[in-house]
Chain A
Amino acid sequence: MSWFQFATRHRAGIASIVVLVFPHIMPFTALAVNILIYGLYALGFNLVYGYLGLLSFGHAALFGTGAYLCGIAVVHFALPWYLAIAIGVLGGLLMAAMIGVLAIRTRGIYFAMVTMALSQCVYYLFYQAVDWTGGENGLRGINVRAVNILGVKLDFIDPLTRYYVIAAFVIAAFFLLSRILASPFGAVIEAVRENETRAKASGYDVTATRLITFVLSGGFCGLAGALQALHLSIVPIEIMHYDTSGIVVMIALLGGMGTFFGPMIGAAAFLMLENLVAVWTVHWQLIVGAVFMICVLFFPAGIWGTLISRGKR
């Protein structure tokens, strides 16, 4: 058994172990938390782009809805943190269902355009609902100081504790995603990507598969958004912006789309690059954009994808 087969079989376990030791090898914990959250966001995105083969440019709406709904639950309804996260996930699922129903009616390259346009619409709606979302100023005051887990009170202000609370959700997401991909339904997802006509001829409902996968993706992204809201304690309106949709595309491609580890590796590479570049110039978007173009031109398989193609040999 090659290292690659071993890594595939125990993918969720390996990813969890890496996540557990990760903050101790990073320069500062805040960056590790960011990588965790963006990695989870990219994990959800990758389900649609990498495994289903549909390029979405509207995932900011799913991430953002998760963040806003979680924040609103805390700020306006004073709900406990775990309910707020559940509401965020639910928000991501519902938003994905609404966008999905419309966008699934189109195919191929249209999907990218329609998802982008619809997420722009969601951006305007949240921007204008000032009473709920704070509009331009963002939603402020999502103060969760401590979290209670089975009677144990954890200090959410402490960076490392906060990291491990968030990591617990990310690890749960790893195992859930790994289970989905290993299930017969996971095989159907990839069948639809590989050959739509054959999948249809084999008796699978292609439209339903696409919609369900998109909604599942919304759940993962909603969870990432909810964790982001608790982590930042504010939700800036930029979370809904087109750039947030674009970043996740970059992360997935950089790490290796359609691979299990790709999104996390991509998030780590992207955010570390961003941090590094930001030290010596404010124009980090120039470098990030250029690096992305080089990836598209020369390394379309991404970091992990390139390693896999070596490992399979």
Chain B
Amino acid sequence: MAGLSINLIALQLFTGLALGAIYVLFAIGLSLIFGMLTVVNFAHGAFYMIGAYAGVYIFMLGGDFWICLILVPLAVGLFGLAVERVLIRPLYGRGIDYPLLLTFGLSYVMVELIRIAFGKTGFPFDTPENLQGAVNIGVGYFPLYRLFVIGATAAVLLALWLFLEKTSFGLIIRAGARDPQIVRVLGVDVARVWLIVFGVGTAIAGLAGLLAAPLQGVIPEMGSTILAEAFVVTVVGGMGSIGGAVLAGLLVGVVVSMTSLFAPEMGKVSIFALMALVLIVRPQGFFGRAGLMS
């Protein structure tokens, strides 16, 4: 097996980490929103797709990738704030299924609006100029852009960690996740906290869509595929756990790319096999609390 050297496997591992980085970004937003609001956001894939299209639009206006990196999360996050305020807030206290069903309907509307505005066929998305080419990472040449995706994800995670652990607002969010009732009694405006959490979660989804665009192109349906895969990530990692989302996201990325190396046609199926295994051995996921399951 000369073709399958250690270096090739190591490179494939890095490819998996870059893919996993996208899953991580997508899943932490999903997990954050579920952990705080107990809303399963079925429109998360649509926000991800909107992020990629916002990037396409900014390019059309003559912007470059670095402007996109700032503007796309802002724009998608603002849209997320509006969605929470207008559509999801009336549904709190009406059962856990309703926000899920609403966001499901919303995803149809968002995808169709994008089809109307940008057409049914997708767009290619060029790798930004300064990030083209490959660098030697010791085991071989690795595309610079994928390295950038891993780095950007690490930066977002660090910023999110600092925000949640080191700021007083982060403290309120963590307390709100534990017991919203007590936090409300203490005089905190919980509705505002939830609003902001939804905004942050969707902003990160938009960023994930933008980062994924040069890797896989931009089509209106790009969100529904990753949504199913992100559910696998959250089930494996444990719903509502950010650490679980990070670990499981990277693991799923590596499993996909490793399976693609040895059995290309099984790449997509492998992650569902992983989920089935986790469900049998540890149904609450790596870091899930058993209570959150019910």
Contact = CB atoms under 8 A, between A and B. Distances in A.
A45 to B, nearest CB: 13
B105 A112 contact: no
6 contacts: A108-B96, A110-B235, A113-B40, A246-B108, A285-B109, A293-B87
Interface of A: 55, 102-103, 105-110, 112-114, 116-118, 120-121, 124-125, 128, 242, 246, 249-250, 253, 283, 285-286, 288-290, 292-293, 296-297, 300
Q: For this complex, into which size category does the number of interface residues on chain B fall?
A: 35 or more
A102 B235 contact: no
B96 A292 contact: no
A288 B102 CA distance: 12
Contacts of B269: 121, 124-125, 128
A117 B232 contact: yes
Contacts of B102: 293, 296-297
Contacts of B229: 117, 120
Given A108-B293, A286-B113, A102 B108 contact: no
Given A113-B235, A283-B116, 10 more contacts: A109-B97, A117-B231, A117-B235, A121-B273, A124-B272, A125-B269, A246-B108, A285-B108, A289-B106, A289-B109
B162 interface: no
Contacts of B228: 116-117, 120, 242
A150 B72 CA distance: 66
Interface string B89-121: 011001011101110111111011101100000
A290 B279 contact: no
Contacts of B129: none
Chain A interface main SS type = helix
B241 interface: no
B239 interface: yes
B283 interface: yes
A293 B109 contact: yes
B234 interface: yes
B215 interface: no
Chain B facing A: main interface SS: helix
Given A106-B279, A113-B234, A242-B228, A118 B108 contact: no
Interface in B202-233: 224, 227-229, 231-232
Contact of B101 (A103, A114, A296): A296
Interface of B: 34, 38, 40, 87, 90-91, 94, 96-98, 100-102, 104-109, 111-113, 115-116, 224, 227-229, 231-232, 234-235, 239, 265, 268-269, 272-273, 275-276, 279-280, 283, 293-294
Nearest to B232: A117
A289 B109 CA distance: 5
- Top 3 closest pairs, chain A to chain B, by CB: A289-B108, A121-B272, A292-B105
B225 to A, nearest CB: 8
Contacts of B101: 249, 253, 292, 296
A79 B40 CA distance: 44
B100 A109 contact: yes
A229 B281 CA distance: 37
Contacts of B111: 285
A255 B219 CA distance: 32
B264 to A, nearest CB: 10
B27 to A, nearest CB: 11
Contacts of A292: 101, 104-105, 108
A75 to B, nearest CB: 23
Contact of A113 (B38, B94, B231): B231
B112 A246 contact: no
A303 B91 CA distance: 20
Contacts of B115: 283
Contact of A296 (B98, B113, B231, B280): B98
Nearest to A113: B231
Contacts of B106: 289, 293
A73 B106 CA distance: 39
Nearest to A243: B224
Contact of A106 (B91, B94, B232, B293): B293
Contacts of B38: 109
